[in-house]
Amino acid sequence: GFAAMKYRGAYNASKFAIEGWTDTIRLELLDSNIHISLLEPGPIETQFRANAKAAFLKWIAIDTSVHQRAYQQQLRRLDKESSGNAFVLPAESCIAPVIDALESTHPKIRYRITTPTKVFAVLKRILPTRLLDKILMRAA
C-alpha cells in the first residue's frame, strides 16, 4: 500500500486503504493490550495472476480501449504460470512474520517480507516522487 503500479488501480487502492485502516486501528487501540501489525508481503507466488486475468477479462473491454496495446501486454503477463521475478517468494514466507506478530509481546508495526517491499519502503522515503515514478514504471 505504499507503491502504486500502473493498470492496477483497484488493487493499489485496496492496499492503500488497508495501510490507512491499519494505522487508524493501531492508534485507536494504543491504550489497550491489542497490538496491530500489518504484513506487507510484496511479490509472493500465489494464484493472483489467474484470478486477476479472470477479473480482467470480465471487466475490461480491450478491443475498444485506448489502452489496448498495454492491456494485451498485461494479459501476456497474466498468462504466465509464474512471475519469473527473481524476488518472488513462496506463500510460506509469510508464516514466520505472522507467528512473530501473534506471539511477540511487542510485535512490529509492519512486517515487510520480500526484498522489493523493503527496498521500495526506503525509496519512497528518500526519493522525489517523480524519480520513484520512473522506477515504478520500469518495474511494472
Catalytic residue positions, numbered: 11
Amino acid, single-letter form, for residue 77? R
**C-alpha to C-alpha distances, 102 to 56, 69, 72, 90, 109, nearest whole angstrom:** 35, 45, 42, 21, 12
Give the separation between CA 20 and CA 50, rounded to whole angstroms: 28
